[in-house]
Amino acid sequence: MATASVAFKSREDHRKQLELEEARKAGLAPAEVDEDGKEINPHIPQYMSSAPWYLNAERPSLKHQRKWKSDPNYTKSWYDRGAKIFQAEKYRKGACENCGAMTHDAKSCMERPRKKGAKWTNMHIAPDEKIETFELDYDGKRDRWNGYNASTYAHVIERYEARDEARRKYLKEQQLKKLEEKNSKNDGEGEGGGVEDSDEDDDNDELKVDEAKVDESKQMDFAKVEKRVRTTGGGSTGTVRNLRIREDTAKYLLNLDVNSAYYDPKTRSMREDPLPDADPNEKFYEGDNQYRMSGQALEFKQLNIHAWEAFDKGQDIHMQAAPSQAELLFRNYKVIKEKLKSKTKDTIMEKYGNAATEEEIPMELLLGQSERQVEYDRAGRVIKGMETSLPKSKYEEDVFINNHTSVWGSWWKDRQWGYKCCKQTIRNSYCTGAAGIEAAEAATDLMKANIARKATSEDAPAPAEDKKLATWGTEVPEDLVLDEKLLTEALKKEDERRREEKDERKRKYNVRWNDEVTAEEMEAYRMKKVHHDDPMKDFLN
C-alpha cells in the first residue's frame, strides 16, 4: 500500500512507524484518526483525493490532500495607514535628521525638507509611524483588492452628486431668469405673443436635461458589422464598418467586358475607370485612382513628398517618426510660399501694370497709331524714324549706389576700372563729384613735384669706408689697433668653431658663412692656432 511520504529523523523512527502500521493491520493497535476524531481508512492510498467505488466511500475522505484549513500564521489584515505610535519631545539619537521620527532615515523621509532639520532645532518632532509586518499566504499576495477600503468610494459618489446638484441649480437659475424677463415685458397680443410663447417653450425644452438620452456613438453604429478578422476558425473579433450601401451596384459589375478595368478580388480594388466613355455627371464611381488623386489622399501625398525633399535638403524631419512636426512644417511652407507668390505678383504688377484692370487703355496703344514718321525699305528694315532699343539683360542695369551718377566700370585708367563721375577706382567708395576729381589731380601734381625736387636735391653717394681686414697669409701691420671687446668675442667664436670641428653632433643645422674676416678674428685665429714646431705646444690649453 502506498503511503504518504513522511520525513523521519532517523532509521529507528522509520522502523517504529512500519511496525505500528503492521499492528494496525492485524488489529493489535488502535486505528489512526484524523483531526476531527474520525477513523481513517487504511486501504485508501494517501495520495488519492477521492475513494474508489469498491471501497467504503461513506467514510470521510482525505482532507489533508487539499489545504482545506488555513494556516493560523497567515492573516488578511492590512496596514494601518497614517497611524502614529509615539510623539517625542526632543531629538533622539539615530532618528531622522529632517523630522525627528525614529522609524525612518533622512533619505526616506516623506516630509518637506526643512531649512534646519529637527536634529539641530530640536523642535516640531514628528511622531513615529506604526510599522507592521504581515505574512500573507499565496492568495493574499495576489489579491489586488487586499487593503481596499470601500468607504473611499463615497468621495466619488459625492463628486458626481455635487455635479448634478450644480447642474440642477444652474437650470433653475436659467428658468427664473427667463421668467423674470417674461414678466418684465408687456404681454403681447395676437400672433406675436403666440410666437414668443412657442419660442420660450422651446428654450425650456432645451434647458431640461434628458436623463434617458441615448449616446450619439451608439446611434451611429447602424452600419457596424461584427466579424472575425485575419483568422480561419478563431482569433480576435474586430469591428468592420461597411460604408457601401447595399442598393449600389458592385464596381466589378459596372462593366462586364473582359478587357475593361481590372478588378483585384484579393484587395477589392479597381484602379482604372470601368466606364471611361460614360457621362461624368452620371457616374458615381470613377476608379480608385480618382480617390487617390483628390481630397485628403492628395494632401497626404504632398505632405510625404515635402518631407522627403526637406530631408534631402538637410532638415531633420521624418514623416513616420514625427508626423505632427512634418505637418506643421508643411503648413508653414505653404504659408510662406503663398506670401512669396503674392509678393512676386505684386512686384510684377507694380512694374508692368495689370492689363486685367478696369483702367481704360489709351487709344494710341489700342489702335497701334502714333504721329512718329517711320521709313522702311523694300526688305522691311527700318531706315529712318525709329531708333533700335538695346535689349536689356537679366541682370540689374543703371543701378547707382553711394551717390554715384555712373555705374562701376564706366571709367578705365592705369589698368583699373572705376567710376566716370568721380574717377575713383575703389568699388565701395562714396562719390565726391568734380571736387574729388580736382583734389585727386592736385594730389598727383604735388606728388610729382616732390619726386622731382627729391631727384634734384639728392647728393652723390658717400664713399664706403674701407674696413681694415686682415689678409690671410700677411703679416700684422705695426699700426694695427685691436678692440679688446671685439677680440674677446672673436676668441669665444673661435673656441666654439673648434668644438664643432671635434664633435660633428654639436654643429648646427643652419650654418652661416661670412667671407669678411676682421682683424680681431684674425688675431683670435693666430692665438688659438697650434704650432706643431713649438716645443711648448703640449702645455697650451
Summarize pLDDT for 101-118 with one digit per residue, the tens.
999 999 999 999 999 999
Band of pLDDT at residue 81, cut at 50, 70 and 90: confident
Complete DSSP assignment for 45-68: -TT-SS--TTS-TTS---GGGTT-
Instruction: Check pLDDT > 90 for residue 295.
Output: no
Output the pLDDT for position 214: 42
How does DSSP classify residue 253? Answer: G
Percent of the chain with pLDDT over 90: 23
Q: What percent of the chain has a predicted confidence (pLDDT) above 70?
A: 67
The per-residue pLDDT for 487 is 87
pLDDT classification of 91: cutoffs 50, 70, 90: very high
What is the distance between the alpha carbons of residues 411 and 425, in angstroms, rounded to a whole number? 9
* Residue 243 banded pLDDT, cuts 50, 70, 90: low
Q: Do 431 and 422 form a contact (C-beta atoms < 8 A)?
A: yes
Residue 429, pLDDT above cutoff 70? yes
> 4-54 pLDDT, tens per residue?
444 455 666 767 777 777 766 666 555 555 555 555 555 545 445 555 666
Residue pair 471/518 in contact (Cβ under 8 Å)? The answer is: no
For position 401, what pLDDT does the model report? Answer: 85
Max CA separation in the chain (angstroms): 161
pTM: 0.26
Contacts (Cβ under 8 Å, ≥6 apart) of 407: 398, 399, 400, 419
Please state the rounded mean pLDDT for residues 161-187. Answer: 89
pLDDT for res 20: 72
365-404 pLDDT tens trace: 677 666 778 888 888 787 887 666 667 777 788 788 888 8
- Per-residue pLDDT at 109: 94
Helix (H, G, I), strand (E, B), or coil: what is residue 391? coil
pLDDT score, position 61: 56
Q: Going by C-beta distance under 8 Å and a sequence separation of 6 or more, which residues neighbour residue 114?
A: 98, 99, 121
Q: Which residues contact 299 (CB under 8 A, 6 or more apart)?
A: none
**What pLDDT is stored for residue 184 in this prediction?**
86
Structure confidence at residue 40 (pLDDT): 59
Provide DSSP, 502-522: H-GGGS-SS-------BHHHH
Please tell me the predicted confidence (pLDDT) of residue 358. 66
- What is residue 474's predicted lDDT score, i.e. its pLDDT? 55
DSSP summary character for residue 39: B
Residues across the chain: 541
- Helices 191-207, 153-184: axis angle to 10 degrees equals 170
* Mean pLDDT for the stretch of residues 531-541: 69
- 192 has pLDDT over 70: no
**Which amino acid makes up residue 61?**
S
Q: Identify any residues that bridge with 238 across adjacent strands, giving them in sequence order.
A: 227
457-510: pLDDT as tens digits: 875 555 555 544 444 455 666 677 788 888 888 888 888 888 777 776 666 666
CA distance 494 to 541: 13
Nearest CA-CA partner of 495 in 531, 528, 537, 517: 528
Q: What is the DSSP string of 102-113?
A: SSS-STT--SPP
Q: Name, in order, each residue with C-beta under 8 angstroms of 239's C-beta and a sequence gap of 6 or more.
A: 224, 225, 226
447, 439 contact by CB (below 8 A): no
Mind giving me the DSSP string for 421-490?
TT----TTPPP-HHHHHHHHHHHHHHHHHHHHHHHHHPPPPPPPPPP-BPPTTPPPPTT----HHHHHHH
- Between CA 482 and CA 474 the distance in angstroms is 16
Q: Which residue has the cell 697650434?
A: 530
pLDDT of 539 strictly over 80: no
Asked if pLDDT for residue 252 goes beyond 60, the answer is yes
Residue 227: name the closest of 235, 238, 219 by CA: 238
For 135-168, b where at least 16 C-beta lie within 10 A, e where not — what string? eeeeeeeeeeeeeeeeeeeeeeeeeeeeeeeeee
Mean pLDDT of the chain: 77
Q: How far is CA 324 from CA 24, 80, 186, 320, 336, in A?
A: 84, 49, 58, 9, 18
Question: Residue 266: what pLDDT?
Answer: 92
Structure-model confidence comparison of residues 450 and 3, the more confident one: 450
Nearest to 292 by CA among 282, 305, 301: 301
Model pLDDT, residue 222: 46
Note the pLDDT tens digit of each residue in 230-242: 555 545 555 555 5
User: So what's the pLDDT on residue 141?
Assistant: 86
Degrees, nearest 5: CA angle 51-53-56 = 65
Amino acid at 152: T
Q: Which amino acid is at 142?
A: R
Instruction: State the Cα–Cα distance between residues 452 and 472, nearest whole angstrom.
Output: 48
